[in-house]
Each structure stands twice: as structure tokens, then as C-alpha cells.
Amino acid sequence: MNGAGAMIVEDLRRELPADRVVAEADSMAGYLHDEAEWAAHGMPLLVVRPRDAEEVRTVVRACIRHRVPVVTRGAGTGLSGGANAIADGVVLSTEHLADIREINAVERLAVVGPGVVNDDLRAACAARDLWYPPDPASAPWSTIGGNVATNAGGLCCVKYGVTRDYVLGLQVVTGTGELVRLGRRTAKGVVGFDLAGLMVGSEGTLGVITEITVKLRPKAGPERTVAGYFDSPFDAGRAVAAISASGVVPSALELIDRHCLAAVDAWKNMGLSTDANIVLLGRTDAPGLAGEQEAATMLDCFQRSDATWAAQSTDQAEADLLFAARRLAYPALERLGPVLTEDVCVPKAAVPEMLARIDATATRHDTLIANIAHAGDGNLHPLLITPAGDEGARTRALAAFDEIIGDAIALGGTISGEHGVGLLKRDGMVRELSPAVLDMHRAVKSALDPYNILNPGKVIAS
Ligand SMILES: Cc1cc2nc3c(=O)[nH]c(=O)nc-3n(C[C@H](O)[C@H](O)[C@H](O)COP(=O)(O)OP(=O)(O)OC[C@H]3O[C@@H](n4cnc5c(N)ncnc54)[C@H](O)[C@@H]3O)c2cc1C
């Protein structure tokens, strides 16, 4: 530990109650990295678990004083290395900032601490006949603070939008150690720049979010599910493009392939069929006749795109099981070996071509690539799996990863639809954005984090 390290440990032990500070290596083990298994991490000096915004401010001010980096951590379910600890830095965990402070049915908003788990907020809203739509597949674990910091998407975003569309206001500890309120809690508001919007998706590099005000919707109605099996990814992609062209906006349109279904079944023994190479799951929550018509249109799109089998589910439990399998796909695949996760997003019309290119990349680089996707958004998650310890396979997977990124950009897409840049996609960001735009990022970073202590090295190098 260097001099600054020893001093910050001493300062924080003095300035905070004893149970907030963890410095034993064993106890810090669970705070070292997120779910991006391929991203590097270091050994922090300590983990701090503040219980209110003032304590967060104490931590950030100590980090400024001693020029020590601070990595804010929600649940650590990130898939880009954004929450990975930095050597000789501080990890600030939001686990004890997990209170739901207000659910307001009149204003249709909720105010929460950043450590509130997504599903817990959704459940609390449902009890009041309200709905917080953003539903990343990690909703049982990931926090609202992490969701805001990554601008998380999810299954129902194809119809209802992403986290950014629901953030009204934020309380933030800035890189100069101020505690500020950004945004609003009113339905409208245009005073000054949209600084709350700037914080959304900033991956802990521009401020530590200590409170979040989100918009709510009335509870959604029951859904109808349509499933389709496809032999080729190209045909499944055609079905996605056809649904988009039909004018139907599904409340979810998810893709899951045979590798994922097999891995989930091997793990959870859910009795899933692995007859199809690709399964598409479409949902509509339109009420009454409109819902029937939307389900029929989706079914028709599946059939016209050469589905080998397609049907509207009559069994809600069976439909829920397929969606549960979709949510479990990632942890199930992790059991097979280290997973390198892509998050490319392409225009919907380019989904068939992108899926075909991913298939070709897997063959060319002799790499197992499983696929899950928020297909209705064109947001694809090719998951590159390599046997643990196989360096050759790792090198081939990295080449495949780069090629997929290049293809997404070439097709008019982006390298990250929802997981963020973190550590894994910094090179991709440089490929996607022009030098002038990268300079704008650096200017914002140095204006809001002049001491370069907030998650330095993530997203953009200073
Ligand atoms: C099984 C699985 C399924 C997933 N499905 C989806 C999905 O459908 N859609 C999707 O978008 N993502 C998905 N993810 C990725 C991940 O869950 C999201 O990125 C999520 O938003 C991260 O939340 P977290 O609480 O785990 O944040 P962490 O991983 O702890 O942190 C993520 C980033 O946010 C920053 N951060 C966290 N809290 C704060 C705060 N209070 N203030 C400032 N910065 C902060 C961290 O520094 C880091 O850069 C999935 C991950 C897994 C493992």
C-alpha cells in the first residue's frame, strides 16, 4: 500500500462508522469484478458501504484529497467490466442505499436509493397497481443505480423504452465532492442542460448517483405469447424484420438459440425442447381484439419467414417458462466456460444479415457462439464461449469478437445497445465514434471529474 493508500484508509476509518469500511482481502473478494469474465480487475485498498448520501460524499471527498480512484458498485451484474475494482482504489458499494423512499400514484413516480434491486421496485409498484417498465434480464439482482449508470434495456424496452426514458431526476455526488440535484420530478421541465440525462449511461465516470426519481406507468394488462422455431438465424432475422414492417410493436420480441436452451435445461431441468436451432418469442399486451390481431400478425410473420413450427401459446405457464429460460440463459452458459458477451445493436432491417454474419464468424474462427437477443430492438447478444484455460480458443474468440463489432458498425449499428463500454468495449468505442466526438467525451469527463478519480480508465481514456 502506498502513502496515499495508507492515509485514505486511516481517514475513512476515522470519518465513518466502523461497519462501513471493509479492508480484509477475504471480505473484499465479492467486490472485485462484475460478470464480464474477460475484463481485468485489480485489488482495491478497501470497500466502503455508505448508508446515506453524506457518507458517499465523505468517501468521494477523501478520494479527491488523496487522488485515489473510486469505483461505484451496484450488484456487479454488469457485462463490460464497468464495476471492476482498480488496484489501490476504493470500491463504493451501494448495497446499503437500498430504500424505496416514495411511490407516488398521483405524480406516477418513485424515489429510490441506488441500491434498490430492480425486481424489488417493480414488486413495490405492482402492489400499488403501478409499473416500472425497464426490465433487464438481470432484474432479480441488478440495482436501479446500476441500471441508470448503464442505461439498461431489457425485454419490454422494444415497446416501452429503456431506463433513460424513465429517469426524471437524480441526486449525485460530483467529482468535486458536491451533493447536487439534477433533473426534476414534474412531468415537464427544460431549465438548463439535461445533466440528469448526461449521468444516465455514464458508468460511474461522471458522478456517484445517490438517489433516483423514476417515472411510472399504470400496470400493464395480460399478455399473449407467440413462439416460432427456425432452422436458420437468417430466417429468424427475417421474421423480426417482418414484424417491424407489419406495424405491430410487440411488448417483447426475444430470441434464444439451441445452445442456450440446452444449457438452461442441463442446469435447471425445465424440460425445454431443443428441437429448434432458434426460438423467437413474441408478446403483445394490447387489450382485447387488438391483442388477438397483433398475435395473429406475429404468427403470420413467423410462418412467412419459414418457421419450422409456430403457434400462439394457450398455456400461460408454458409461455412463462420460455421467458424464464431466456432470462436464465446467461448464467447457464457461464457454467460451460468463460463467456465473452457482445451487445451489438443493428437496424431492424439488418437483423437477418447480422445474424447470418455472426454464424459465419463462429465457423470462420472455430468458436462456439450462442445467441440471445432483444431481437425486436435489433439488440443481439452473441455469447462467445471458450473452454477454461484454452489460450488458442481465447485468441480465436477475441478475433471473432472484433469481427462482430466491425460487422455491426458496417451495417449501421452500434457496438453496445445496453451493456455499456466499461473496459471490454473501449476499442470498439474508438472504432465507432469520430475523433471529434471522442474529444467531446474527454472534455465532459475532465469538466465533471477534474481530479480523474471517478472510475478512471473505464469508457474513455483521459
Ligand atoms: C444474467 C444477466 C442478464 C442481463 N440482462 C441485461 C438486460 O437484459 N439488459 C441490460 O441492459 N443489461 C443486462 N445485463 C447487464 C447488467 O445487469 C446491467 O448492466 C445492469 O444495469 C447492471 O446493474 P448492477 O447493479 O449490477 O451494476 P454494476 O454491475 O455494479 O455496475 C454497472 C456500472 O454502473 C456503475 N454504477 C453502479 N451503481 C452506480 C451508482 N449508484 N452511481 C454511479 N455509477 C454506478 C458502475 O460503476 C459500473 O460502471 C445482464 C446481466 C446479467 C448477468
Rank 179-183, 255-259, 318-322 by mean pLDDT and report only the highest.
Answer: 179-183
Per-residue pLDDT tens digits for 380-393: 999 999 998 999 99
Identity at 305, one-letter amino acid code: S
Residue having the nearest C-alpha atom to atom 7 of ligand 1: 136
Assign domain 100-218 to its CATH architecture: 2-Layer Sandwich (3.30)
What is the per-residue pLDDT for 382?
97
Domain ranges of the chain: 3-93, 100-218, 224-410
Residues touching ligand 1 (Cβ under 6 Å) are 34-35, 71-79, 82-83, 94, 114, 136-138, 142-143, 145-147, 149-150, 152-154, 203-204, 208-209, 330-331, 418-419, 455
* CA 138 to ligand 1 centroid distance, Å: 8
In whole angstroms, how far apart are CA 252 and each of 205, 272, 326, 329, 358? 31, 20, 12, 16, 22
223 Cα distance to chain centroid: 24
In whole angstroms, how far apart are CA 417 and each of 157, 236, 249, 342, 343? 11, 20, 19, 9, 6
For the CA of 77, the nearest atom of ligand 1? 26
Q: Is the pLDDT of residue 461 over 80?
A: no
Residue having the nearest C-alpha atom to atom 44 of ligand 1: 204
Q: Is the pLDDT of residue 462 over 80?
A: no
* CA 139 to ligand 1 centroid distance, Å: 10
* CA 5 to ligand 1 centroid distance, Å: 28
Per-residue pLDDT tens digits for 137-152: 999 999 999 999 999 9
* CA 314 to ligand 1 centroid distance, Å: 34
Residue having the nearest C-alpha atom to atom 18 of ligand 1: 78
* CA 172 to ligand 1 centroid distance, Å: 18
Burial class for 52, CB neighbours closer than 10 Å (0-12, 13-18, 19+): middle
Residue 184 CB contacts under 8 Å (≥ 6 apart), including other chains:
168, 169, 196, 213
Q: Which of 37, 95, 116, 150 to mutate to test the pocket of ligand 1 (most atoms within 8 A of CB)?
A: 150
Q: Is the pTM of this model over 0.85?
A: yes
Q: What is the mean pLDDT of the chain?
A: 95
In whole angstroms, how far apart are CA 461 and each of 14, 67, 409, 426, 443? 33, 17, 21, 8, 11
Q: How confident is the model at residue 268 (pLDDT cuts 50, 70, 90)?
A: confident
What is the per-residue pLDDT for 271?
78
> In CATH terms, are 3-93 and 224-410 the same topology?
no
Identity at 16, one-letter amino acid code: L
Residue having the nearest C-alpha atom to atom 28 of ligand 1: 76
Choose which CATH entry (3.30.70.20, 1.20.1250.20, 1.10.1740.10, 3.40.462.10) describes domain 224-410: 3.40.462.10
Kindly state the average pLDDT of the residues 198-218.
Answer: 98
Residue 54 CB contacts under 8 Å (≥ 6 apart), including other chains:
179
What class, spelled out in words, does domain 3-93 have in CATH? alpha beta
Give the closest residue to 196 by CA, choosing from 209, 210, 184, 182.
Answer: 182
Question: How does DSSP assign 178-226, residue by residue?
Answer: -EEEEE-SSS----S--HHHHHTT-TTSSEEEEEEEEE-EEPP---EEE
